[in-house]
Amino acid sequence: MCLGVPGRVVSVREGFAEVDFWGVRREVCLDIVDEPVAPGDYILNHVGFAIRRIPAEDIAQTLALYETLLAEAPSNDLMVADVRGEISATGKR
């Protein structure tokens, strides 16, 4: 539950961002993010809130783990389930 999941900001409006998580578009609250975000930025989402804007140079490294996990076939894997849960925690558009 503390893992969080990174996603790419598509658009921003009134305290919310539309964020793309590997093709799934969801709404993430920007109330507690540490820096202003703009389309194209990557944020770390935790239970529906952006908690960090990921520095541009670190994005590839940050995404690698999740790509490994999400490449796995849907299963009852704990870590994969937690990551999918994090995506489900965001708002529906």
State residue 5 phi and psi, 5-degree precision: -150, 135
CA 12 vs CA 27, 36, 60, 65, 74: distances in Å: 9, 10, 22, 26, 31
Contact residue for another protein among 10, 12, 20, 29 (CB under 8 A): 29
Q: Which residues pair with 20 in a beta bridge?
A: 8, 25
Does residue 81 touch another protein according to CB under 8 A? yes
Site for another protein in 61-80 (CB under 8 A): 61-62, 64-65, 68, 76-79
| Interacting residue ranges for another protein, rule: CB under 8 A | 1-4, 29, 31-34, 44, 46-49, 51-52, 54-55, 58, 61-62, 64-65, 68, 76-79, 81-82, 85-86, 88-91
